[in-house]
Each structure stands twice: as structure tokens, then as C-alpha cells.
Amino acid sequence: MKIINSSIATCVAVTGVLMSCNSVTFVEEAAAKSDIANTSMAPASQVAGTQLNLDDWNLLWNDEFDYANEQLEENWISQNGPTEHVLVASSRWRENAVVENGELKLITKKETRAGQDWTSGNVWTKQNFGYGYFEARYKYAAAPATNNSFWLWPKHGSPEGEKQCEVDINEGHFPNVINSNVHNWTDKWTLANGKQKHYNNQIAHTLIGQPEHNIVLDKPISTNKIRLTSKNPKAVHLREFRVFSAELEGFPDALSALDPSIVNYAAAEDVTITDNGNNNAEGSKTEFSVDNNLDSRWISRSTGKKWIQYEWADKKEIGGIQLVNGLLAQDGINNGWLEPELASRNLMTDFTIEYFDGQEWQIIHDYQSAEIANFGEQYHTYGLAWDEDYFRFYFDGELYYTVRNDVCFSETTILFSLAILKGNYSGEITDALDGTAMTIDYVRYYQAK
């Protein structure tokens, strides 16, 4: 087996070959979404899948946006000017925050203003809020490169002696990625290279999707090259990639180690594995995509298009492909995750598998998670229960993640913001962004009875 890490320049040349759209017919065996399991180790309020019972809470404040646009200023303040952040490509203005038909829309526009090429909107509350349950119902702006945020930050200042704490209930990325973060912006340290760091626990959740994909070809193909490409906005986590002979009858269990009697061409002696850059940290090497160990994985580069290619000295007759992506828990409940296998973390939002027919690349399979769940078209609720001990994150009223509260103990502000992010951080900036909007139906604040 040969492992080759190609340069970025090589990536441009290779992806530039893409490609003929003549496709091979396939049938994907649908893998059931793993159920969120109860965990006896955790108290009831921390068990994944626990439904929030609003009968235990008193509604103290809410905004249903059922008023004229001019009344927005009664409860909210808008940014009017450039956004001074290295990742953000949009200035933000009150004109881009529009109340209509019982909804607040934060609208993107392709226009140069305040030195930035795009505009969007954001708002924050005039009022501060303490411990309680925060919930908003909204749709994402339906385009890549957007950051659709519902978050808490002490916009009006923190009391003396308290830490500057940011809690991102959801920094949503199209089509269905949920990002939760807890930042401590007070306690910072400097690395040997001079870069300043602070504590945060940013995690990308894909709660609707599947970690395993079984792709069965109804007609075998003969090739010496197969590759997987992706525009996933984050790094791709490929735990296993398996290429099977046309003679194999039935697929093995994707989430189990492969029986030695079953040949995986992707791990053959004559295979050469090439990628366009990967995270070479210990525990995430390129060859781990075929090591028959579900606890290890290949992690791609973080931004831009990604690809990994498997090439053989002689052609193989291929009848099926199996892959597993995402992450596994290392220590279960101790790291805040409530699912034993954490199959829903860092799933790919898209990927394409192709084979080389001797002249050009042909598509075997194209997967788009937006076809399963499109949060640009669907309303969902995003919630946070915050107390002096824990942050508990909810999706459509169901608990999916818990993390200790070691930093946030003073009142804070509620914010909504739509940002356009540079550098393929959440996808490529294109004209498809123009006119899209993060659409908020309501926001509500409760305190425990």
C-alpha cells in the first residue's frame, strides 16, 4: 500500500478534470438513523432523547414578531456598520433586519458597503437574561457560506470579576449542520508561535443523517481508480472505505470490523492512496481509512474541496462500495455526548464517488444531505437550558448534548446574527446567497418553576 499526500496545486488540477456526468445506476441500502439511547450513568435531565417538559417552566419573556417592522427597536438593537472579524465577509445593517408576516428576516444582499462585498443583519436584546431555558424557532438562509446564529453574549458588559462568556446555542450551517459552542473569552494563553488561544468546545452536530452508506451497483464496473470527493464545509472524517468484488453477495455490517474472509480492494497490497491534504495529527492518518478499525479515521483538510483516491496496479471488477463517516466517542458521558456511539457527529453533508473509465471520471454515487434534511426549508426549534452547573442543548425539544458550566454565571444578552463566512469555512460564497434570509418565527425565555 502506498500513501501519497498531494499538494493543493495538484488538487486544482485533478478537480479541474471533473467530469462527465454519465452515471452508473446504483441502489443505496438505507441505513437506519441510530436511535438516541438512554444512559443509566446519567441523571434523568441528562439522558439523551429526554423531551423538554415546558410544564416545568414559566414563560417570562418572548417575541413573536407579530408587529410592524418599525417596532423592532422596542426590544432589539441592530448593528450598523462593518463586521470586524477575519472570517466574516458581510457588514450588517438595520435595513437587513426586516419584520414581516409575523417573522424576523435577516437578509443577505450582494452589495459593497463599509468595505465589505456583502451585507446581512443581526440584532441583540436590550434586556439581559439569567439562568433559564432559551428557545427559538427558525429556518437557515438556504445557501452555503452562511452562519445562522442564535446565541448568548454579554453585549451590555459583564459584572466586575465575571468572565466574558459566549454560548452559541446554534451556529447553523446549511443544509443541516448544528454547531454548539461555549467560549471563555477572559482566560487566554499564548502559544509558542505567538498565537493567542482561549477555551472553547466547538462541536458540529449532524442529528439527521447516517454514518454508514452501502452502495450496490446493479452492473459491475472495471477500473483501476476510485475516488471520493466532498465540498463538506468542515473536515471530512472517513472511518472506513471499503471496495468489494462483484462476486460478494450481501453487504457486511458497516459498523463492525470486516471479516478477514471478505476482501476490501481499498486495503489491497497493490493500492496507492492519494489525497489533497489531510490532518496528519497522530490518530488521524490517511491509511486509517482502510485499517479495518472503526475507532480510527482519515481526516481531510479543513477547508475547500476534499478528495481521497484509491488506485490499483491492475483493474478490479467492483460490485459495491461501503463507507463509514463521522466520529466515535472516546469517553462517553464524560465528554458531554449522550449517545454511546455518537454516529451523528461530523457527518458529511455531501460526497461524490467516481471511477475512472480509462478516459474520464464517471459518477457512481452522489449524496446530498439536503435531500434528507434541509434546514433552509424547514423550521426547527433550538434550545438551551442553562443553570449554574450545566448547559443542556435541545433540538425540537429533545436533549442531544450536555456540557458542564464552568464559566457562565452572570446575566447575558440574546442575539440573532446572519454572517457570510470567508475561506470555505461553511461552504463556498456564490451569488446564490443573494436574497436568502435567516427567518425567525419566535424567541422565548423561561425560568424553572
Among 40-44, 139-143, 180-184, 368-372, top mean pLDDT goes to 139-143
Q: Is the pLDDT of residue 315 over 50?
A: yes
14 pLDDT band, cuts 50/70/90, is very low
The pLDDT value given to residue 299:
93
How far apart, in whole angstroms, are the C-alpha atoms of residue 239 and residue 224?
Answer: 22
Type of residue at 430: T
- Our measurement of the distance from residue 379's CA atom to the centroid of its chain's CA atoms, rounded to an integer in Å, reads 17
For 341-369, the pLDDT digits (tens) are 444 577 888 999 999 999 999 999 999 98
The residues near 400 (Cβ < 8 Å, ≥ 6 apart) are: 36, 48, 205, 207, 338, 344, 393, 394
274 pLDDT band, cuts 50/70/90, is very high
The pLDDT value given to residue 21:
32
The pLDDT value given to residue 381:
98
For residue 264, count other CB atoms closer than 10 A to its CB.
Answer: 18
Q: Considering the chain, what is the average pLDDT of its residues?
A: 85
Q: Is the pLDDT of residue 334 over 70?
A: no
For 111-151, the pLDDT digits (tens) are 999 999 999 999 999 999 999 999 999 999 999 999 999 99
How far apart, in whole angstroms, are the C-alpha atoms of residue 349 and residue 232?
Answer: 6
The pLDDT value given to residue 289:
96
The pLDDT value given to residue 282:
66
Lowest pLDDT segment from 7-21, 135-149, 397-411:
7-21
φ and ψ at residue 414, rounded to 5 degrees: -95, 135
The pLDDT value given to residue 101:
97
49 pLDDT band, cuts 50/70/90, is low
Say what the pTM is. Answer: 0.79
Type of residue at 261: S
Q: Is the pLDDT of residue 6 over 80?
A: no
How far apart, in whole angstroms, are the C-alpha atoms of residue 126 and residue 106?
Answer: 18
Domains along the chain?
A: 2-30+209-371 (no CATH), 53-207+374-448 (2.60.120.200)
Lowest pLDDT segment from 27-36, 225-234, 270-279, 394-403:
27-36
